[in-house]
Amino acid sequence: MTAPAPGRPMAGRRVVVLGGSGFLGRHLSPAFQRAGADVLTVSRTAPMRRHPSPGVAALAMDLTGAGPDRLAAFLADAEAELVVNAAGAVWGVTQEEMHRANAELVGDLVEAMAALPRRPRLIQLGTVHEYGPGTVGGGTTESHTPAPVTPYGRAKLLATDRVLAAARSGALDGVVLRIANITGPGTPPGSLLGGLAGRLARLREAGEPNPMLELAPLRASRDFVDVRDVVDAVLAVAAAPAGLVSGQIINIGSGRATPVRGAVERLIAHSGLAVRLVEREADTARSDTEWQQLDIAKAARLLGWRPRRDLDSSLGALAAAV
């Protein structure tokens, strides 16, 4: 077998990115293509109208309605060697839709992949929200017992459990990345920072002097990681030996907890606007965590991965992209 060319570690490998038209998928697919992979993206929408990367094939499919048999047939026909699950639902959906997209879909996917005669690797993209409350002042390790407090976190934890059970039984070559709050160019408007970037852009266009921004309370501290660093981590897992990563949870984040108010103020600074920031009263009915900080030592040890972009440069890239 010929060794991959330098700079193209995925040369000749067939990669399927589920959720290819979403935030992460739009970054992952061209990165795999640049690494030499033969990439197929799958999403419910018509992806070819949105996809930025030539040389990446795209397929429209409702993944949540496909079922294990159809998924297995599709992956066999695609001759997939690696499947990255970047599909899911976070904002603007019911709890039932969130459960279907984030938990049941993964169950169907695991069943489908376990039935294939040639089993691809599955990289499941999980979330810091699976852990629930962190310990103020410290980083959460992969051995922490999860206690999610949001429907999204609970659904993603069910998906993680399904992948790990199959991997540890030998039915699947699967690994879960538990990812911090992702930001950077293209951050979705449903998120705090993505929505704020859009509002700032509209205020700039309106030209209103001394505009005011009213936001929910900004008292929490969060681990923010740049989307491009997440892509680097996924590529590192894709290239790692199965014996090193299969059946593992690996945290991917900055390893730091940043006050949310500080992140918001930096994004406003990048906008160049003199904005008056007002915080609403806290919603006592809302469940959330005040502190999120991931311990990322395992990613460094297993993958040689560390984040290369700081939050300020990430926020600058977000502001510039909007």
Active site residues: 152
Give the whole-angstrom CA distance, residue 41 versus residue 184.
Answer: 21
Phi, psi of 5 (to 5 degrees): -65, 150
Nearest alpha-carbon partner for 280 in 214, 221, 219, 220: 214
Q: Do the Cβ atoms of 209 and 149 come closer than 8 Å? A: no
Give the whole-angstrom CA distance, residue 7 versus residue 22.
Answer: 26
Give the whole-angstrom CA distance, residue 47 versus residue 60.
Answer: 7
Nearest alpha-carbon partner for 275 in 215, 219, 209: 209
Q: What is the largest CA-CA distance in the chain?
A: 64
Q: What angle do CA 292, 312, 134 make, to 5 degrees?
A: 5
Q: Do the Cβ atoms of 25 and 43 come closer than 8 Å? A: yes
What distance, in Å, lies between the first and last C-alpha atoms of the chain? 44
Give the whole-angstrom CA distance, residue 191 versus residue 310.
Answer: 19
Sorted by sequence, the CB contacts under 8 Å of residue 64 that are 6+ apart come out as 44, 100, 101, 104, 105
Give the whole-angstrom CA distance, residue 164 versus residue 174.
Answer: 7
Q: Do the Cβ atoms of 16 and 84 come closer than 8 Å? A: yes
DSSP annotation of 65 reads G
